[in-house]
Amino acid sequence: MTWTAPRLPRLDQRVAADLRALIDAKAKPLGALGRLEDLAVQLGAIQGTTAPRADRAAILLFAGDHGMVDDGVSAYPQSVTAAMVGMILDGRASINALAKTVGAEVRVIDAGVAADLPRHPNLQSAKVRAGTRSAVREPAMTADECAQALACGARAAGRAIAEGAEIIALGEMGIGNTASASLLLHRLGPAPLEACIGQGAGHDAEGLARKAAVLQRAAARSDATEPFEVLRQFGGYEIAMMAGAALGAAALRRPVVVDGFIASAAALVAIRLQPALADYCVFAHGSAERGHRLMLQILGAEPLLDLGLRLGEGTGAVLAMPLLRAAARLVTDVADLTEVLGPAG
């Protein structure tokens, strides 16, 4: 396969200016709702309307396994990925509880889980391969696999939008994917590798040292710096699909809500592939995972929430949904100041 980053429509600056004027005329002090007003302008400029909507949100949760787990980058075995996907499909994971709270839909996509997952009405199969190869010894993906994963992600976003999604949020499940995200940040930031490596899913000091040593070996194996090649060398199928989903959603003028460290690594890849994507991204929260604050700083992003989360699954993205909905309703539901003061007020 070949893959080319899609051209993204420019944000409508006339709509943005009209939205700012509408918000300034609302029955409140000028600028009193702070960043919520900026978010409302961003949503409307993305959607190309002065009546933005954020009621229907789809969480695209991509799952995949990583060959580096065999080299000791994770405190958990690879089998946990399939077990957690099963828990999510059963509706009993953290993401399910939080999604129910805010009325968001969770769509699970098998990007490359190293197991045969049973059929389920809420599971979409897009498996490229049963887990990536170990980036310590060889490229994690072939060029064709990487292109396929990016394209599959874009199609997943397009399908959700065709079925009515007004907001696309990115989530993931994959044992070992903080290791992959660390390498992507290191190379695409760029940033010193030691500043990119955190504890992931429960490493103690010894495990963290082992993870760092493994990632040093992986980084030394390839000097790739071009975004597609960096993704191919060090990424995961779920990360590639999240990057493709972000670009696919933006191409259809939908905001992209980015979860934590791994989802932000996918956004970093996608922004390096197509810089215009940055205007379409809403970064949900600042993760407790080491490296995420650095990644957000590099991207010039200010997250909406700071709750000390480091779970993944799209949990932070879901928790940010009420803020997006509030921002949209600020434009559509709040009275103008003239209704309070009268036309000559």
Catalytic residues: 313
Burial string for 175-208 (b: 16+ CB within 10 Å, else e) reads: bbbbbbbbbbbbbbbebebeebbbbbbebeeebb
- Beta strands 105-112; 57-64: pairing state: parallel
Q: Before 190, cis peptide (omega within 30)?
A: yes
Q: How far is CA 253 from CA 220, 235, 280, in A?
A: 39, 26, 8
- Retrieve residue 229's tokens: 């090649």
* Residues whose CB falls within 8 Å of the CB of residue 8, separated by 6 or more in sequence, listed in order: 247, 250, 251, 274, 276, 277, 280
The CA-atom distances, in angstroms, between 327 and each of 32, 37, 179, 304, 322 are 13, 7, 35, 12, 8
Please say whether the beta carbons of 222 and 133 come within 8 A: no
Q: How far is CA 116 from CA 55, 69, 81, 130, 144, in A?
A: 34, 18, 12, 8, 22
| 100 token code pair | 């129910």
Q: How many residues does the chain have?
A: 345
What is d(CA 303, CA 39) in angstroms, rounded to the nearest whole number?
11
Query: Closest Cα partner for 317 from 148, 138, 197, 168?
Result: 168
Pairing assessment for the beta strands 123-125 and 281-283 based on DSSP bridges: unpaired
Residue type, 257: V
Cβ burial 16-36 (10 Å sphere, 16+ → b, else e)? bebbbebbeebebeeeebeee
